[in-house]
Amino acid sequence: MTEQAPTRLPEPRISASVEPTTNSHLVIDSVTKNFGSQAVLQGVNLSVAQGGTTAIVGPSGSGKTTLLRLIAGFEHPGTGTIELNRKTVAGDGVWIPAHKRQVGYVAQDGALFPHLTVGQNIAFGLDHGKLAGGRKGVAARVGELLDMVSLDASMAKRRPHQLSGGQQQRVALARALAREPELMLLDEPFSALDAGLRVATRRAVAKVLNEAGVTTILVTHDQAEALSFADQVAVMRDGKLAQIGNPFVVYTRPTDRATAEFLGDAVILDAWMEGSLATCSLGGIPVRRPPAQGLVQLMLRPEQIRIAEDGPIRGVVVDTDYFGPETTVRLQLAIPPELAAGAKADHRYPGGGEIITIRHWNASIARPGMELCLRVVGEAVAFPVGG
């Protein structure tokens, strides 16, 4: 054996607001929004740095798109304020309409005009009064924008239905960039694309926006997309931001169990915390800044539990799912010898017998019925019981 390569959710414990920095482009302060008696946003605080990329991720109905529409100026907040470049655009009796906010918006379906050519769609976003050279100036600018999103200038004469889904999304981005926005809002723009095209289009869009220095906010329900696209991730649940931080921190140190399980597969085990060491069925595992002592719930990511010939933990393969580059393996952990001999399960002798899921690249060494030796790598995260 060789070591592996690297229902309704409970109410979130709200993390502290991300404080505005000296280069904050967008500051959202205590924003609420109701539709009738339904509270959609409940005291949202968020700061986005100039030129930065933020992904707002959460399940359907969590309030992501509503927040984006408030930033764009399509909706009024109930309470709270929204600032762009240190200027209030909504709240405190102030309202700046959408067309005066220097904000670009790309919707999920691109929303291209089907009766116009690609060039005409892009030119729709241009301020013709600022362009010299009349039609030639417009055509030249359209060509520049097509090149910016890696599309050939010859596509300007095509209709939207003659383009692939990824090409349509790039045209929608070019049209939004034509207005030279300072802030770009992307509302699940890649969700209708197939997997391979989705990744390629996402990378192309990220590259364009980064090179243009445009502050960007992406709304998505795809956890992997959020983690790979942005330099800041905000996790939304039930109209509130449960956690805000850089992708690595949000994934490896989630603020609560619900956030941990939303952002990816998680192994959750009961454990006993003493100091900074948690004892569970996987042995003693270090925890950074434990929130409580005594009984806790311990969280590990599946990739932290690795198959190793000298591993001190044993488990029997229950079943597997093959995904090509990796295989997910469900294992039943062994019962500790002390319990098998009749000792009572307590914090000294965790129960064992739990079924956990790990990942491995070699499907041939993880077949149902096989006993595997395991080793835990890195720190775990602990949550208070009931938290």
Write the DSSP string, 228-248: HH-SEEEEEETTEEEEEE-HH
Residues facing residue 307 across a β-bridge: 374
Which pLDDT score is estimated for 346?
57
Instruction: Give the three-state DSSP class for 141.
Output: helix
Which pLDDT score is estimated for 107?
85
Which pLDDT score is estimated for 362?
82
- Mean pLDDT for the stretch of residues 211-219: 92
Which pLDDT score is estimated for 336?
62
Which pLDDT score is estimated for 81?
97
Is residue 9 within 8 A of residue 235, CB to CB? The reply is: no
- Mean pLDDT for the stretch of residues 221-242: 93
Which pLDDT score is estimated for 4?
43
**Looking at the predicted structure, is the pLDDT value of residue 50 above 50?**
yes
Q: Which residues of 350-365 are buried (b: 16+ CB within 10 A; e: fewer)?
A: bebebebbbbbbeeeb
- Mean pLDDT for the stretch of residues 113-135: 82
> pLDDT higher for 135 or 29?
29
Which pLDDT score is estimated for 135?
78
Which residues in the chain are classed under CATH 3.40.50.300?
A: 24-252
Instruction: Give the three-state DSSP class for 15.
Output: coil
- Mean pLDDT for the stretch of residues 128-137: 72
**Looking at the predicted structure, is the pLDDT value of residue 18 above 50?**
no
Which pLDDT score is estimated for 5?
43
- Mean pLDDT for the stretch of residues 357-372: 88
> pLDDT higher for 185 or 339?
185
Counting residues of the chain whose pLDDT is more than 90, the rounded percentage is 59
- The band of 16, judged by pLDDT with boundaries at 50, 70 and 90, is very low
Instruction: Give the three-state DSSP class for 136.
Output: helix
**Looking at the predicted structure, is the pLDDT value of residue 287 above 90?**
yes
**Looking at the predicted structure, is the pLDDT value of residue 148 above 90?**
no
Which pLDDT score is estimated for 202?
85
pTM of the model: 0.84
Domain 24-252, CATH among 3.40.50.2000, 3.30.110.30, 3.40.50.300, 3.40.50.450: 3.40.50.300
- The band of 129, judged by pLDDT with boundaries at 50, 70 and 90, is low
Select from 133, 130, 168 the least CA-distant residue to 151.
168
- Mean pLDDT for the stretch of residues 80-105: 94
**Cα–Cα distance between 25 and 37 in angstroms, integer?**
32
Q: Where do the DSSP E strands lie in 207-312?
A: 215-220, 232-237, 240-245, 267-274, 277-280, 283-286, 294-300, 305-307
**Looking at the predicted structure, is the pLDDT value of residue 289 above 50?**
yes
**Cα–Cα distance between 114 and 194 in angstroms, integer?**
22
Ramachandran angles phi, psi of 100, nearest 5°: -110, 10
